[in-house]
Amino acid sequence: MKLSRFMRRRLSISLPSRHVVILISLMAFFSFYMGLFTHLFEKDYHTEFSYPLDMDVLPLVQQLQMNGKIDELDVQPINVFNYSYLKSCRHKCPEGSTPRLVFVIKSAIPHFERRQAIRQTWGYEKRFSDVDIRRVFLLGRSPSSPDQEMAIDREDALHGDIVQADFIDAYNNNTLKTMSGLKWIVEHCPSAQFVVFADDDMYLSAKNVLRFVRQPSIYPDDGEDESPILKREHRERSLKQQPGDNLSDNLETKRLYAGYVFHSPPLRHRSSKWYVSLAEYPYHLWPPYVTAGAYVLSRQALLDLHYGSGYTKYFRFDDVFLGLVARKARIEPVHCSQFYFWKKPYSSTSSYRHVIASHGYDQPDELRRVWFEQKSLGNA
């Protein structure tokens, strides 16, 4: 009411200034809508950052890893994944196994075809005779479609690769899904050396992941300058773990949290799917985080992120949430441009030679075509 009285008074004045007023009003509305004012009230990420729990969580994380007893802790966790597992794949990593790589794939209940294509391509567990790879799919529940739930039961009986927890399977619950995956690894596959979290609409190359984790900072140095024979040897050699390749000694991969790293501001644009209010997150930047489509964690990074997540206030975007936990646990994300968060054009067969992951493969037939072609070229 106040505004319209104000407008009426303003509009009764002479013509040119009336236009000016309308223009200014429009600009003000536009700025509000685009979140420009919100930006003015943001806090400085570099100097003012703090996020609950506001304390040094690393000692707590270490305490938990030493004995794991919650009731003996000085500080109780504030964010615990406490939904039960309806399917827990408890035989995926039997006692004594030490998988080199475990794929933890965030899927959705109706994506039966995508899961099938992944089992046949990059998620194939027997891809290499001498590298131990495992795969599980993460799901929530769909109480409104009992038929699909029954189909999931059959799928799990057939493939034994479904990890399902008791929360609603919805986009909004993505952080819960990620937390269900971290907890599952810690409880059921703690000896895994590297874990790749991926979405079910990704192309992935297990071969390039294995090359990458050997020495992330120089990937994709593929011995380009060497003779063809040496080059081939170099590429084959780099797949396997070498003697003297002591993971706990290797500083570079000890706490590896790697993928495509973003240093970006929160979106304050009100119509955005990713709109975030100041009350929810007040700083002008996110902590550096790896985009969610695909990322690699070493065992130690995974343990620290899992236990650290208990001391980090829940955040609904799963990749930002992990970035927040990583910052609290003082893990530096490692950037590699061969994790494509968009769809890397398949312009020629050689364009995917170094690709570790690419988004945009929600069509199972296309995934099969591209992956089998890359496999035949030694790139997948």
Ligand X SMILES: *[C@@H]1O[C@H](CO)[C@@H](O)[C@H](O)[C@H]1NC(C)=O
Residues that bind ligand X (CB under 6 A): 79-80, 82, 167-168, 170, 172-173, 246, 248-249
Handedness of CA 289, 295, 299, 303 (dihedral sign): positive
Using a 10 angstrom Cβ sphere, with 0-12 exposed, 13-18 middle and 19 or more buried, the burial of residue 46 is exposed
User: Which of residues 31 and 148 has its CB atom nearest to ligand X in the complex?
Assistant: 148
User: Which of residues 248 and 337 has its CB atom nearest to ligand X in the complex?
Assistant: 248
Question: What tokens appear for 38 in the block?
Answer: 């919100």
Q: How far is the CB of 249 from ligand X (least distance, A)?
A: 5
Question: What tokens appear for 84 in the block?
Answer: 């039960």
Query: Cα separations (Å) of 61 from 55, 198, 237, 247, 368?
Result: 12, 25, 36, 20, 41
User: Which of residues 167 and 275 has its CB atom nearest to ligand X in the complex?
Assistant: 167
Q: How far is the CB of 78 from ligand X (least distance, A)?
A: 7
User: Which of residues 100 and 207 has its CB atom nearest to ligand X in the complex?
Assistant: 100
Give SS3 for 319. Answer: helix
Q: How far is the CB of 141 from ligand X (least distance, A)?
A: 8
Query: Cα separations (Å) of 349 from 236, 354, 371, 376?
Result: 20, 11, 10, 10
User: Which of residues 23 and 168 has its CB atom nearest to ligand X in the complex?
Assistant: 168
Q: How far is the CB of 82 from ligand X (least distance, A)?
A: 4
Q: How far is the CB of 300 from ligand X (least distance, A)?
A: 12
Strand duo 194-199 + 339-340: pairing: unpaired
